[in-house]
Chain A
Amino acid sequence: MITPAAIVSTAAIAALGILCVALLITVWRVVVGPSLPDRILALDMLTGIAIGFIAVVAVRTGFSLYIDIAIALGLVGFLATVAFARFVLSRGTVGDAGSGTRRRGK
């Protein structure tokens, strides 16, 4: 008979594997770009995946203080995205020409 801890441990290992694949795919988007807002969006997504990693580690180790760390990381990620959006608003048009987006001629 499978114990409950074995069920959760197997699911946590599978979730870690799937999250690793998701992290690598998102890092690919950060590297490729093609424009600055694409990279900012992918970095925001990376923060979300990191929160997921921390939650899975909290399940595996049984150390519930990790949840507070995940919430703090979510707050930092939100503020970073807002700050990056302000940065794009002020000087996002400078020198990041991309193939996926067209731009207004100035």
Chain B
Amino acid sequence: MLDYALAVVTAVLLLAGAFFALVAAIGIVRLPDLYTRMHAASKAGTVGSGLLLLAAGLYSGELAVLARALAGFLFFILTAPVSAHLLARASHISGHFPADISVRDDMRMR
């Protein structure tokens, strides 16, 4: 019975992670400019790869492997906003402005 519970939880995590990765990819293609695409890539993409990593750690059945998978997930959650912020700041400073559909751009006022 416990095997079935573990298998179902792993299957749900696998499908949810792949679904979040697909949503992030669709967002990267469909959204209008760099700064909105960054939302899709750094939020949904991180959750997708993190859930898949968590599924792998959970299905292995060892505590050490699960701890490593959790540490990896935490690492991705910590680093994704940093890299997205660096890229957004660099591209805004170097002259790539948001699309016309954006309502306001606080950094251009300075």
The residues of A with any CB-CB pair to B shorter than 8 Å are: 4-5, 7-8, 10-12, 14-16, 18-19, 21-23, 25-26, 28-29, 35-38, 40-42, 44-45, 48-49, 51-52, 55-56, 58-59, 62, 64, 66-68, 70-71, 74-75, 78, 81-82, 84-86, 88-89, 92-93, 98, 100-104, 106
Contacts and interface: CB of A to CB of B under 8 A. Distances in A.
Given A37-B34, A44-B45, 18 more contacts: A4-B3, A8-B59, A18-B19, A21-B25, A48-B41, A49-B48, A56-B52, A59-B56, A70-B49, A70-B53, A81-B83, A85-B83, A85-B86, A86-B86, A92-B91, A101-B34, A101-B99, A104-B95
B25 A51 contact: no
A57 B10 CA distance: 13
B72 A70 contact: yes
Nearest to B11: A11
8 contacts: A4-B7, A26-B29, A48-B46, A49-B45, A55-B17, A64-B56, A71-B68, A74-B75
The secondary-structure label for the interface of chain A is: helix
Contact of B45 (A45, A84, A101): A45
B91 A22 contact: no
B24 A56 contact: no
A8 B56 contact: no
Contact of B18 (A7, A22, A89, A102): A22
A71 B97 CA distance: 33
Contacts of A23: 25
Q: 10 smallest A-B Cβ distances: which pairs?
A: A4-B7, A11-B11, A37-B91, A18-B18, A22-B25, A15-B18, A55-B52, A92-B94, A81-B83, A89-B90
Interface in B65-110: 65, 68-69, 71-72, 75-76, 79, 82-83, 86-87, 89-91, 93-100
B87 A85 contact: yes
A44 B38 CA distance: 10
